[in-house]
Structure 1
Amino acid sequence: MSEATETSENEFTPINSVVELATYYDSLSQPGVAVLTLLGPAEKDHPVVLVEQLEEDYLLFDLTAIRDVAPPLRRGGKFILSGFTPGGLVRSGPMSIREFTTVESRLLAYADWPTEIFVKQRRASFRATLRIGMEVGVHVRSKDNDKDELVELQGDLKDLSATGCLAEFFMQDGVSRVLPDIATEIELYFPNGTSFEVKAKVRHLKTDNDRQVLAVGFEFENVSKPQEREIWGYVREIEREASRSAGNGESRSESELFRVHDENDKKLSRRHAHTYATPMARRLARIAGYLDSQMVVMKQGQPVNSSQLSLHADRVLDMLEDDRQETLFAVHCIHRESRWVKHGLAVAVRLADLLNAAKMPRDLRKAVVAGAMVHDLGKGTLPPEIWRATTLSTDVYEEMQTHVEAIIEKLDGVKWLAPVVRENVIAQINERLDGSGYPNGLRGAHLGQLARAAAVVDAVDAMQRNRPDRPAISTVAAGKSMQTRTEQFDEAWVKRYNAHFGPLPVGTLLRFEKGNFAWVVGLDAKKRVNRVRVSPHKLAPDDKLGPPLEGSAMAELGRIREVLIPES
């Protein structure tokens, strides 16, 4: 007796919705799924091909490979159709063949379309999975977690059910700016231009660092009855198209949803071919993508991944060893991610470079890089309203300080990160010599050397970034400001910083005498600008930069007239 028929009736749920029935029959039509079980004394299972269905009319079977079942079926014998589908183990009630026909030596048989099917569920709902080559765009819209503006994230649909969906997003698309959010609007966009919008919330997240994607499970919310019927229709069409593209279903007509109406439709799927100003910027973007996705999973309560943090910290040091000036410039080319990611990565790169000049060993610098990269990620776990405010009340200011504890808690499993580095680079980076910092108001003697160095690098970078309570200032202005704040910052480390990176550091945007905008990409041994790249605009560096200019070619630009603040 087959597994389907020996299972007790009360373990199965009857399904009689036309669109759900059609979805299950489409799933049974996939190769190797359907089983025909003859009823009677000689009950036996036979693999069968469900060729076609016409809703509320017929199911069409190909019996060519099991011709021995034809005689009993011709005599009115009953059978049950069953199989494992994405919605669970399903079976029909007793059925009979109403008509046989032969087409090009194939033995085909028609049965009345069953108006009920029974499902022993393996999961909450039927989940139709897209095969390779089936593209459905997923657009998630939400308020930016950094700014009070609407932003959109584009990804690929991987599967769909009546209650939710699974989508993948490219890590380097700045996922933390949108995800996770309590109320998120999702749009599904099909190849033929059909779109469907529904409210949803994030249920689970999983990172795939090798493929650089973040898989996000969404649960639909407040779905109306018309929307539910529409979703079931999409589920059925996905299952139907998956069956057609599986190999044996090529003769089936293409689903209308998957007829591409515009090959250049940019809404159809995510585009991984992001362009970057330099090859080094592309390398750094992978690390930024990891940090950005890490902040998303942290907000869902997951800890920092120890091995991945180690891997990416090593990659930062490798980049600095390969070409430190290219790496310092690459920091300015990262712009899709959250500001906490961009800031943390900039601090990590510059602090590692500064400590390398101080002859600190690689293992220590690696730990420092790891701590600096994640030191502000805890901010992403707090309400975004805090970071949009122009002033903070005492209560909100105290809540803001909890970001330090939040990231330290998520680092519990990172055993290789030395406690002294964790304390100095993460817990004390916001402390000040005069006790005006947070979270503990520590003073001079209580701050370690690493904390003093990290505080300088952190503050210089922070001043060059816009905040709701004050605008950004230039690299030159930030350096000068630090020289006047010796009560807060270690004077020796301020001097080391300015001497190491120079008065016009790599990554400074300049305006020259002839009106050209150009980025500093190289300094000579005396910290003088000796190489620049011309830009057509004052935005972050992109692939529109001109080639490096030095010597006489740079001299043709004329004198430096102004240090600019890049536009965001």
Structure 2
Amino acid sequence: MSETEIEFSPVNNPIELATYYEALSQPGVASLQITNGGGKEHPVVLLEQEERDYLLFDLSAIRDLAPQLRRGVKFTLHGYTPGGLVQSNPMTMRELISADGRLLAYADWPTEINVKQRRASFRASLRLGMDVGVRLYSEDEESQNKIELQGDLKDLSATGCLAEFFMQDGVSRVLPDLDTDIELYFPNGTKFEVPAKVRHLKTDNDRQVLAVGFEFPEIGQAKEKDLWNFVREIEREASRSAGEGGNKTPSELFQVKDENDKRLGRRHGHQYATPMARRLARIAGYLDSQMVVLKQGQPVNSHQLSLHADRLLDMLDDSREDLLFAVHCIHRESRWIRHGLSVAVRLADLLTTVKVPRDIRKAVTAAAMVHDLGKGMMPPEIWRAVTLSTEVYKEMQAHVDHIMGKLESCKWLSPVVRDNVIGQINERLDGSGYPDGVRDKSLGQLARGAAVVDVLDALQRARPDRPAMSAVAAHKFIQARTEQFDEVWIDRYIRHFGPVPIGSLLRFDSGIFAWVVGLDRDKKIARVRVSPHKLAPDSKLGEPLEGGALRDLGKIKDIVVPEN
């Protein structure tokens, strides 16, 4: 059945019926139609239901119909609900009473209604202030440790749900596993776990959220009954919070057990080491959500890529030193995101030394940002291997084609830049690179520069087959391999960023750790921020120290590789 077709079906499951009646009780939803009454519908308020016993109506607004209803004239109940257009079988009022100036009426609880619907099941939406947490669990592709992703439930049915996740929570490290278990967590502490499949994804870059639709396949009767109860309670609470449902009994599920319970939905209070790191986190969140949709087979969003490339260049113009440090402060996202951002920032900054126009730097920045996203589209087992067989090594190289194939809609992205920064960033002067073994004079200047930036950043990140290096050690490594990397670009890089670049972690002979956050004109250390640990920079960093305050820290003992 297509999405535009309307299916007419009877509903007689008591729990599902109660859910529909709960929806009909929301303000302005229900109407009453007298059988053989000319088809006119009259607004009616469904006040209350007692399952398998009665429905209670408020007829105060349609008192003129009271004589007919007292005589037992049959009527039907109508209304548009989240499950579709509802129409009851003909029924009669069994009792009309006056109370506090209102005209109330009881009818027998209908044991069947008919629903004209566009989807298979009723779907109850949560209103603002109704927090239900959603948690997913997965295995981290790098550490193989169990990680979780926490979000907000937006709607629920017996066959699936919609949840939103904050982009800056590293969504790509968990999503989009096609088969997973999700846990719903209600304010009163009730937990419910159900197997689910990811069905669709939609990014909202303005709100920085990723909306994910889940399907609940092949659940048993017990879980289906629980789900219907949850749907009904959501409808009950949504009706109460609509402003005219104060007479309804509060849902037990939404009685808050602990006001400080962090499991109730996501919390956007992430702290970052610097204001610039917070700005960069928005771009990282965009890239992380982009990786999720790439895994689902969707292309790169051309407009958003252009927008974020401009933002990154603007940030570089605002304060290059702050941005160069900020790339070391992003740690929630996938390693492909963190690496891509670092390469984009440093390559865009390095190209200022050779007077490259802004439009070319923008294309370079965009290409560098996404150049490794193809790796996230491949089986994670490849990236956990300590050694690669020839066959697996060839398979790994396909990550280049994976991302190149998703950029076809980016018509503004120069093909020359794309091919140099993405297609040839892994090539080497001696032909030992991939995917095509391009060598020597066949490699353009942009590809040569990109390869140097890419490798120097990669060497400073741990992999299963080797530990991370310090910037100084990485410089020595690449300087000894001029048969693979362009010596001019190596020298240009070290001169521009300095022998001990911004983002290096120092240990002084006093035992104090400090991050390099500024250099002088001679590329010597001019400003640092003390850290209480040797982990990635966080909000516990001290204020910037320079001049005499920097000298008071003593002599630099060594350059330390940060711990994960």
Q: Does the pair score TM above 0.5?
A: yes
1:346 to 342, 367, 371: 342
1:38-88 Cα deviation digits (max 9, x unpaired)? 113555311111011111111000000010111100011111011111111
Work out the CA distance in 1 between the residues paired with 2:33 and 2:178: 48
2:525 to 518, 525, 529: 529
Residue 550 of structure 2 corresponds to: 554
1:512 to 508, 530, 544: 508
Work out the CA distance in 1 between the residues paired with 2:194 and 2:30: 33
Residue 321 of structure 1 corresponds to: 317
Instruction: Say yes or no: does 1:182 pair with 2:178.
Output: yes
Deviation at 1:222, TM superposition (A): 3.4
- The one-letter amino acid paired with 2:168 is Q
Work out the CA distance in 1 between the residues paired with 2:94 and 2:406: 64
Deviation at 1:12, TM superposition (A): 2.8
1:471-502 Cα deviation digits (max 9, x unpaired)? 11111100111110101000110011111111
2:96 to 83, 97, 100: 100
1:262-299 Cα deviation digits (max 9, x unpaired)? 11000001011111000000010000000000010011
SS of match in other structure, 2:216: strand
Taking structure 1 as reference, are residues 558 and 121 closer, same or farther at Cα in structure 2, changes over 3 Å only? Answer: same
- The one-letter amino acid paired with 1:304 is V
1:451 to 447, 456, 470: 447
Residues 145 and 178 in structure 1, CA contact (< 8 A), matched pair in contact too:
no
Residue 542 of structure 1 corresponds to: 538
Work out the CA distance in 1 between the residues paired with 2:50 and 2:328: 59
Work out the CA distance in 2 between the residues paired with 1:44 and 1:341: 60
Residues 142 and 185 in structure 1, CA contact (< 8 A), matched pair in contact too:
no
- The one-letter amino acid paired with 1:63 is L
1:376-415 Cα deviation digits (max 9, x unpaired)? 0011111111111111122211111111001111000101
Work out the CA distance in 2 between the residues paired with 1:12 and 1:51: 26
1:334-390 Cα deviation digits (max 9, x unpaired)? 000000000000000000110012211111111100000000001111111111111
Residue 245 of structure 2 corresponds to: 249
Deviation at 1:211, TM superposition (A): 0.4
- The one-letter amino acid paired with 1:297 is V
Residue 362 of structure 1 corresponds to: 358
Deviation at 1:177, TM superposition (A): 0.2
Work out the CA distance in 1 between the residues paired with 2:501 and 2:195: 47
Residues 10 and 112 in structure 2, CA contact (< 8 A), matched pair in contact too:
yes
Instruction: Say yes or no: does 1:202 pair with 2:198.
Output: yes
Work out the CA distance in 2 between the residues paired with 1:501 and 1:427: 25
SS of match in other structure, 1:181: coil
Instruction: Say yes or no: does 1:472 pair with 2:468.
Output: yes
Structure 2: give runs of 5+ residues left out of the alignment: 1-5
Work out the CA distance in 2 between the residues paired with 1:107 and 1:79: 17
2:278 to 282, 289, 292: 282
- The one-letter amino acid paired with 2:81 is T
SS of match in other structure, 2:405: helix
Instruction: Say yes or no: does 1:125 pair with 2:130.
Output: no
- The one-letter amino acid paired with 1:295 is M
- The one-letter amino acid paired with 1:218 is F
Work out the CA distance in 1 between the residues paired with 2:558 and 2:39: 89
Instruction: Say yes or no: does 1:307 pair with 2:300.
Output: no
- The one-letter amino acid paired with 1:442 is V
2:26 to 20, 23, 30: 30
Instruction: Say yes or no: does 1:392 pair with 2:378.
Output: no
SS of match in other structure, 2:261: coil
Matches within 5 A, 1:415-430: 415-430=411-426
Residues 145 and 176 in structure 1, CA contact (< 8 A), matched pair in contact too:
no
- The one-letter amino acid paired with 1:496 is R
Matches within 5 A, 1:16-165: 16-40=12-36, 42-165=38-161
1:240 to 230, 236, 240: 236
TM-score when normalising by structure 2 = 0.98
Deviation at 1:467, TM superposition (A): 0.7
Residue 328 of structure 2 corresponds to: 332
Work out the CA distance in 2 between the residues paired with 1:108 and 1:144: 59
1:149-182 Cα deviation digits (max 9, x unpaired)? 2110000001111111100000000000000113
Instruction: Say yes or no: does 1:410 pair with 2:406.
Output: yes
Work out the CA distance in 2 between the residues paired with 1:496 and 1:461: 15
1:105-137 Cα deviation digits (max 9, x unpaired)? 011101111111111121121111111111110
Work out the CA distance in 2 between the residues paired with 1:567 and 1:41: 77
Work out the CA distance in 1 between the residues paired with 2:286 and 2:369: 11
Residue 3 of structure 2 corresponds to: none
Count the aligned residue pairs: 559
Work out the CA distance in 1 between the residues paired with 2:253 and 2:385: 45
Residue 5 of structure 1 corresponds to: none
Work out the CA distance in 2 between the residues paired with 1:395 and 1:217: 36
RMSD, matched Cα: 1.1
Work out the CA distance in 2 between the residues paired with 1:41 and 1:458: 77
Work out the CA distance in 1 between the residues paired with 2:509 and 2:429: 42
1:414-473 Cα deviation digits (max 9, x unpaired)? 011111100100000000001110000111111000000000000000001111111111
Residue 261 of structure 2 corresponds to: 265
- The one-letter amino acid paired with 2:264 is L
- The one-letter amino acid paired with 1:241 is E
Residues 7 and 118 in structure 2, CA contact (< 8 A), matched pair in contact too:
no
Work out the CA distance in 1 between the residues paired with 2:532 and 2:166: 28
SS of match in other structure, 1:333: coil
SS of match in other structure, 2:369: helix
Structure 1: give runs of 5+ residues left out of the alignment: 1-9
Bigger drift between 117-126 and 536-545 goes to: 117-126
SS of match in other structure, 1:12: strand
Deviation at 1:312, TM superposition (A): 0.6
TM-score when normalising by structure 1 = 0.97
Work out the CA distance in 1 between the residues paired with 2:459 and 2:414: 29
Identity over aligned residues, as a percent? 71
Deviation at 1:249, TM superposition (A): 1.0
Work out the CA distance in 1 between the residues paired with 2:232 and 2:207: 29
- The one-letter amino acid paired with 1:233 is N
Taking structure 1 as reference, are residues 222 and 149 closer, same or farther at Cα in structure 2, changes over 3 Å only? Answer: farther
Matches within 5 A, 1:188-227: 188-227=184-223
Bigger drift between 394-403 and 404-413 goes to: 394-403
Instruction: Say yes or no: does 1:489 pair with 2:463.
Output: no
Residues 48 and 63 in structure 1, CA contact (< 8 A), matched pair in contact too:
yes
Residues 517 and 537 in structure 1, CA contact (< 8 A), matched pair in contact too:
yes
Work out the CA distance in 2 between the residues paired with 1:240 and 1:398: 57
Work out the CA distance in 2 between the residues paired with 1:450 and 1:40: 79
